[in-house]
Amino acid sequence: MNSAMTILDTIGDTPLLPLRNVVPPNGARILVKLESRNPTGSMKDRMALAMIEAPEEDGRLKPGGSVVEYTGGSTGVSLALVCAVKNHPLHLVSSDAFSKEKLDHMRLLGAKLMIVPSENGKQTEKLTRDMIREAHRIAAETGAYITAQMENTDQLRAYWTLADEIWQQTGGRIDGFVQSVGTAAALRGISERLRQHDGRIRMVAVEPAESAVLSGGPSGAHKIDGIGAGYVVPLWHDGIADETERVSTAEAKAMAFRLAAEEGLFCGTSTGANVTAALRLAERLGPNAVIVTIMCDSGMKYLTTFSRDLEP
């Protein structure tokens, strides 16, 4: 074993698992990339590492330099892990709209946390913009490096790697890819690379039905952690996806509960949204097709939130 190895070396190379029970009878085969197997239980470990390594390599982030970010939760936890290992003090701006487990996890990994109050515990465009403004203020006042995930293209290389893993694991047999949109970096990076392998793969973006701005709807409030900023984010462009699916908070949560009970996959609501949209695509593409989507994170990040919906 390499004595220089750290927890960061375990990021990536996650399994690809077929769904067995939560599938339409005559639909396409659906494969789920288990990003919950990353160290913090989230796909965001990949992008957090890329967003720190790139500025370290080119000198934008000095050894021991401080980092600032705004986050709905998973990115903050992942950055806290990376910064703890690499000895970068981290200041995060988040909100009470996001799961308590994520906020606690950030603090436990050593991050300093500012909480921006939400309206009724829901994510809105105003909340997103308030968090971004506070993070930029802190960076300006302290001179810290801001990773600014909504506009950071350093993270794309992490998703090119994820796409290459999917291509290799499917043996190049993939007809559709489905992913929910937060910063848009994941779908943008994965779709770019998969299309290099095969331009016929159908790319589907997923957004909250209550705030379906990518498909022309009004901005609104929702409770699907990590996606649906409430406005068209800077990294998005219309060529990223071939179509956009709207999934409600209720549909996403119901599917997350089904995945736990019927597949043994304990996931968050963004994964529930992904699988809901993948099932719709599976019915359209038919039984000979293969669709890949992402298990974005572990349901362990949402225990407090989910427990409110369980019967005693």
CATH number assigned to the domain comprising residue 242: 3.40.50.1100
Domain assignment present for residue 2? The answer is no
For residues 223 and 272, the answer to whether their CB atoms sit within 8 Å is no
Contact predicate 211/222, CB 8 Å: yes
One digit per residue, the tens of pLDDT, for the chain of length 312 reads 677 899 999 999 999 999 999 998 889 999 999 999 999 999 999 999 999 999 999 999 999 999 999 998 889 999 999 999 999 999 999 999 888 889 999 999 999 999 999 988 888 999 999 999 999 999 999 999 999 999 999 999 999 999 999 999 999 999 999 999 999 999 999 999 999 999 999 999 999 999 999 999 999 999 998 899 999 999 999 999 999 999 999 999 999 999 999 999 999 999 999 999 999 999 999 999 999 999 999 998 888 888 777 755
Q: Are residues 222 and 249 located together in one domain of the fold?
A: yes
What does the pLDDT read at residue 311? 58
Evaluate whether 73 touches 94 at the Cβ level (below 8 Å). yes
Q: What is the pLDDT of residue 305?
A: 81
Same domain, 243 and 209: yes
Strand 67-70 with 29-34, pairing:
unpaired
- pLDDT at position 122 is 86
Domain with 63 in it: 44-146
Are 14 and 106 part of one and the same domain?
A: no
- Rounded to the nearest 10°, the torsion over CA 301, 182, 262, 31 is -120
Question: Which helix (H) or strand (E) covers residue 293, if one does?
Answer: strand 290-295
| Number of structural domains the chain divides into | 2
Question: Beta partners for 4?
Answer: none
> What is the number of other CB atoms lying within 10 angstroms of the CB of residue 53?
17
pTM (2 d.p.): 0.94
Q: Do residues 54 and 277 make contact, with C-beta atoms less than 8 angstroms apart?
A: no
Residue 301 and residue 171 in one domain: yes
Residue 193, amino acid = R
Is residue 90 in a domain? Answer: yes
Phi and psi (nearest 5°) for 119?
-100, 105
175 and 27 housed in the same domain? yes
Same domain flag for 173 and 299: yes
Amino acid, single-letter form, for residue 97: A
Active site positions, annotated: 44, 270
Assess whether 139 and 271 both reside in one domain: no
